Structure 1
Amino acid sequence: MRRIAASLRQRLLLGTLLWMLASIAATGWLLERLFTEHLARQFDRELQLHLNQLAANLEFDAQDALRIQPLSDPRLQQPYSGLYWQIDRMPSPAQTGAQAVQRSRSLWDSVLHVPQDRLDDGERHTHRVLGPKGEMLRMSERIFRFDEHPEVPLRLIVAANENWLEKPVQELRKPLFISLAGLAGGLLLAVLFQVWAGLKPLTRLRRELSALRAGERSTLGQTHPAEIQPLVDELNAVLHNNSEFTERARQQAGNLAHAVKTPLAVIANAARAESSALGQLVSAQTALANAEIDRHLNRARNAARARHGIGQCAVRPLVEGIVRVMQKVHGERTLDFVIAIDDRLSCRVQAEDLQEMLGNLIDNASKWAQRRIRIHSGTDAGRDHIDIDDDGPGIPQEQRAFVLQRGRRADEHTPGSGLGLAIVDELAEQCACQLELLDPPHGGCRARLWLTPPAQRQAR
């Protein structure tokens, strides 16, 4: 029930289905009821017709004996046919019950035992009584008096088998049920289509939001239904405000960084002119300050890029360009770079960001490698990654989290600021990637850059 309550589609379908089933069930019951009542009225009118015909065919002969002309319905001549008539002489005050003086041939040797209720002249009553074969009969009776013999009241009775009334109702139920089931199926298809068509704009809006989060677009569409368009306009307004705020923050950060870099450059130049320990300390600290400024500028740049579309970045050409640069930077060493990256591999990251991450990783591997660096791609559990393997001394397991901290180095005697791996780790997190340090099969260190972390992949 919680899952249904959390889904508009399921709530609409469940509510409409319950209401539709209740309405169709009530309609079926009402139609059957109306048909039954119509048949009952028609059945009673037929009994009334036979009763009137029976009264019209009564007469007294010259000897004052009651005579009855045959009625037209042939069922009254067939024994136990289900249609019967009977004439009772009403009892006098001294008598206890009516006496049957005449009956139809269809009753054969049986007599209808009817309830003894009080009837006025011309009044008609309807009862249910047992027939000669134990079947249930629907009976109509009335009191009749002859003008020439008003002292002789007669009770005229006509009865018919109730199965004749119930059988048409039973025959109606099957086609009625099939018709209502077909109607329910048609209505269900109409409801499914209506729910699908009604919620389709929300599905489209969800896809646009996913594309917006993935950086494929910067705003939502403008062609939504009138009920959703105000929400879309408000979201676009919020996105526009956030974009303006981010742009102002980026500009302010850039202005501040450039303003600070000028006096830092003056201090660094003055420190390089001093060969004392103080000069070396000032040079090192200004280098760290410049690195921190560059890092915050990169973060501001990434925040601004989050508002723009990110295309697919081809990995192999970018790696080949970085390797060419590293061969010149570390030209004094004979390093063998091996590139084994699928030509079709690409990732949804800005080319500048991927170049900075891979550049730092390949540069770090070049500093520690003895002779060989291997850069290759792979896929694990549906996730693409790039591995940079070197044949250097490697990084012990207990120091891997340490070297990812800013300013930390595994070997303090090796030149560097200790910011390379930390910058890659932070930038990878900002770009929805992930950095991991592993052991390659043949020794050294493996820096694995996952192009899509598990949490990001599931969120999509």
Structure 2
Amino acid sequence: MLIWRYRGANAARQSSRPDMRSLRLRLLLGTLLWIAASIMLTGWGLGRMFQQHVARQFHAELQTHLDQLTAQLDLDAQGRPLLRLPLSDPRFQRPYSGYYWQVDSPNERGLLRSRSLWDEALSVPADQLAAGEMQRHHFIGPQDQAVVVAERKISVDGRELRLTVAADAELMNAPVARFQGTLWLALALLGGGLALAALVQVYVGLAPLRRLQAALVRVRQGDSPQLAGRFPSEVMPLVEEFNSVLGQNAEVVARARTQAGNLAHALKTPLTVLGNAAGAAENRDSELAHLVNDQVGIARRQVDYHLARARAAATARLPGARTAVQPVIAGLLRTMRRLHAERGLELRLLDMPAALAFRGEEHDLQEMLGNLLDNACKWARSRVEVEVRAEETHGQGRLLLSVADDGPGVPAGQREIILQRGMRADERTPGSGLGLAIVVDLARLYGGELRLQEAASGGLQAVLELPAAQ
């Protein structure tokens, strides 16, 4: 039976926090910050340039009107100022149009003014001007308009006159505001396009790293012995070096297995000779023969135990190891039915998906499950059940293999004791006390553990947790 458990809430909280170690996030943030800074600087610079251009054009137009007013100004027979011809801009004739002119004397304001001023006059600051000097001012004009003023002091037939031309400042500010609005809209669209291009560039540029990650997952899950695929030239040296390391590790494991096998043969041969000699007819009943047989058996079990640990230590962290669980359990159940055929036990495997796999060597899985099944069959009264579950813990797949019997069980205070090497729950039951210890050591080498608890039937339930291959 398969039980999937997800830590959805924790995963959602973790995924909501940006990981500043992410290369993709760093590239995106750097690019977006640069784009934003460039857009802001460009917008500010273009806006200032256009504003200065409009201001220069505006002041040049005021100076043109002032020059035209100066050229057309004359005095009548009574010495009062008059215009020989009206100014060319028709806005000076429309009331409150925003364009105004005025002629003042040192003692009288508004001697002559444009029709656009209607019945008002410009309140020009009473500052002193030299003859022919021109000045510019900003102040409040007719109908509370902010106006820009250009003024000049001239002398006509010995009479000093002050000429003033003014224009509504909004006529200068409005084009600037419209231009800046259009400019910032265009720059915003440009920035959005550049941000999208940066996003696509980062996604496409980091695609080889995602393929490399997928290749590493295939190696870890045992689907491929090496990194396979086509990668950019910048990534290929890393792939080649990693494949070289995988090849060297495989060679080291192969040599370790060969040496372990050679050591096993080297030790088991003299042990077999000693056992055969002690079991000979002439020595079978002697006290020495019994002693030798006992010690040879202990030596064989110790050799098997330590060789199993050495072999597992060499292969437990080897990438690419993968073992299907269901065939191993099915084979072990067939073996146990033959070994314990005289007891008529019911050995049952509960429903499980065929895709479940152990991330490790097949022989190690057989060693661990075989010891658990053999121990359960020794103590069971009539039934042994095997259950396999899968769960997700901290983003990693785990297998929970449970072997439960309906025997007398083990008190809670003794469960940790019988997991120690050489300790047995009952000395009257055949065994060496190494089976569960071997399971504990092998499980730890793979980053797993063995837990003993009470079964639903009252017997003992051994739960073996191991890494799962996806």
TM-score calculated relative to the size of structure 2: 0.83
The CA distance in 1 between the partners of 2:385 and 2:356, in whole Å, is 19
Deviations 1:71-91 (A, max 9, x none): 2222222333221111234x5
Deviation at residue 145 of structure 1 after TM alignment: 4.7
Instruction: Go from structure 1 to structure 2 and tell me whether the alpha carbon gap of 1:64 and 1:209 turns closer, same or farther (over 3 Å shift).
Output: same
Q: Does 1:393 align with 2:408?
A: yes
Is the Cα contact below 8 Å between 2:317 and 2:446 reproduced in 1? no
Question: 1:88 maps to what in 2?
Answer: 104
Is the Cα contact below 8 Å between 2:376 and 2:403 reproduced in 1? yes
Question: 1:34 maps to what in 2?
Answer: 49
Corresponding letter in the other structure for 2:251: E
Question: 1:267 maps to what in 2?
Answer: 274
Deviations 1:273-292 (A, max 9, x none): 44444433332232232223
Deviation at residue 63 of structure 1 after TM alignment: 6.5
Corresponding letter in the other structure for 1:282: V
The CA distance in 2 between the partners of 1:321 and 1:99, in whole Å, is 117
Deviation at residue 222 of structure 1 after TM alignment: 5.9
List runs of 5+ in structure 1 lacking aligned partners.
92-96
Question: 1:57 maps to what in 2?
Answer: 72
Q: Does 1:424 align with 2:439?
A: yes
Question: 1:439 maps to what in 2?
Answer: 454
Deviation at residue 158 of structure 1 after TM alignment: 0.9
Deviation at residue 410 of structure 1 after TM alignment: 0.8
Instruction: Go from structure 1 to structure 2 and tell me whether the alpha carbon gap of 1:222 and 1:341 turns closer, same or farther (over 3 Å shift).
Output: closer
> Aligned pair count?
444
Aligned mate of 1:309, from 296, 320, 342: 320
Question: 1:72 maps to what in 2?
Answer: 88
The CA distance in 2 between the partners of 1:56 and 1:158, in whole Å, is 13
The CA distance in 1 between the partners of 2:353 and 2:248, in whole Å, is 40
Deviations 1:139-183 (A, max 9, x none): 11234455xx3x334332211111111122223343333222222
Higher RCO (C-alpha under 8 Å, 6+ residues apart): 2
Is the Cα contact below 8 Å between 2:82 and 2:112 reproduced in 1? no
The CA distance in 2 between the partners of 1:189 and 1:46, in whole Å, is 44
What SS is found at the alignment partner of 1:374? strand
Instruction: Go from structure 1 to structure 2 and tell me whether the alpha carbon gap of 1:200 and 1:319 turns closer, same or farther (over 3 Å shift).
Output: same
- Pairwise mapping of residues 253-264 of structure 1 onto structure 2 (< 5 A)? 253-264=260-271
Deviation at residue 347 of structure 1 after TM alignment: 1.7
Question: 1:247 maps to what in 2?
Answer: 254
What SS is found at the alignment partner of 2:226? coil
Is the Cα contact below 8 Å between 1:222 and 1:232 reproduced in 2? no
Instruction: Go from structure 1 to structure 2 and tell me whether the alpha carbon gap of 1:440 and 1:161 turns closer, same or farther (over 3 Å shift).
Output: same
Aligned mate of 1:200, from 207, 218, 221: 207
Question: 2:11 maps to what in 1?
Answer: none
Corresponding letter in the other structure for 1:269: N
Is the Cα contact below 8 Å between 1:78 and 1:106 reproduced in 2? yes
Deviation at residue 306 of structure 1 after TM alignment: 5.0
The CA distance in 1 between the partners of 2:216 and 2:440, in whole Å, is 27
Q: Does 1:360 align with 2:371?
A: yes
Deviations 1:207-244 (A, max 9, x none): 33333333333333463333333333333333333333
Corresponding letter in the other structure for 2:381: Q
What SS is found at the alignment partner of 1:446? strand
Question: 1:94 maps to what in 2?
Answer: none
- Pairwise mapping of residues 19-418 of structure 1 onto structure 2 (< 5 A)? 19-60=34-75, 66-68=81-83, 69-89=85-105, 91=106, 100-117=110-127, 119-120=129-130, 122-145=132-155, 149=157, 151-221=158-228, 223-273=230-280, 274=283, 275-302=285-312, 303-304=314-315, 307=318, 309-315=320-326, 317-342=327-352, 344=354, 346-348=356-358, 349-378=360-389, 384-418=399-433
Deviation at residue 431 of structure 1 after TM alignment: 4.5
Instruction: Go from structure 1 to structure 2 and tell me whether the alpha carbon gap of 1:343 and 1:304 turns closer, same or farther (over 3 Å shift).
Output: closer
List runs of 5+ in structure 2 lacking aligned partners.
1-16
Deviations 1:100-159 (A, max 9, x none): 43221222333323235555555432221331333221111234455xx3x334332211
The CA distance in 1 between the partners of 2:437 and 2:229, in whole Å, is 42
